Structures are given as structure tokens and as C-alpha cells.
Structure 1
Amino acid sequence: MRLSKIVASAAVAGGVAAGMGLAAATANAEPAPPPAPGQPAWANGSPQVWDQGWQRWGVWLNGIFVPTF
């Protein structure tokens, strides 16, 4: 009888811990970037990309990231 209570308690504790881990992973998810601004004429067809570090939209030109805000 005692062993079944221990097993049941371990199962509940495991479920709670798994739920907390899922909640933490969801809470730490980064928000989606804002919509991209219009394509600038000076970009010469280079696509706009979201820079995660600077949190800005921009265009790569000759190896340099140029923010388009």
C-alpha cells in the first residue's frame, strides 16, 4: 500500500514539474518581429531581414547591415 502512494506521488510531482517547464518555455518565447516596412528604393532588390540582436529591420548591402527602421 505504501509503495503505491509513493509511485502516485512521484507521478503527480513529475506532471507538475513538466507543466512548470512547459510554462517557463512558453514565457521565454521571443515575440514575433513587427511587420516589415516598405522596401526602400536604394536597396537594389536586397531583401529586408530582421536582425535579432538589434531588434530592427534592415538590408544587407556589401556585407554591412543597414537598418531601415
Structure 2
Amino acid sequence: MSADHAGYEEHPLLNQRVRDIASRGEGELMAVTHELHSDGRVVRVAHVRPASGVEWSTAADNLQAAR
């Protein structure tokens, strides 16, 4: 998926409840950013906010819609 000039992706689950399969945590997907690493790789990072309000990040590929 492509990102805008600021590195943000229009992810289909944006602002919806998601589950992080790596941590098994659930929360609202706040953003997906594209981070450029020194070796030229672009890593898609999802930013998830649970009810507690303390966000965490995970690989965007770890997300699925929560039920």
C-alpha cells in the first residue's frame, strides 16, 4: 500500500477495532506509518490504542478486524 507525503497509509481498518495477532491485544487502529530504514527497506507500522489509552505499535501485517 502507498503512503502520503507524511508517511501515513490509508489502511482499510483505520479508526476501527483491531486485534494484534502478535500480542493478542485489541484496540482502535489510529494510524499506519511507513518507516524508511537505513538499508532502504520500508516497514509498515501500525499504531493501536486500547481502552487504557496507552498506544502500542506492531507490524501492520499483524492486524485483523476484531469481532
TM-score, normalisation: structure 2: 0.32
More helix by share: 1
Q: Structure 1-normalised TM-score?
A: 0.31
Larger relative contact order (C-alpha < 8 A, sep ≥ 6)? 2
Which of 1 and 2 has greater Rg?
Answer: 1
More strand by share: 2
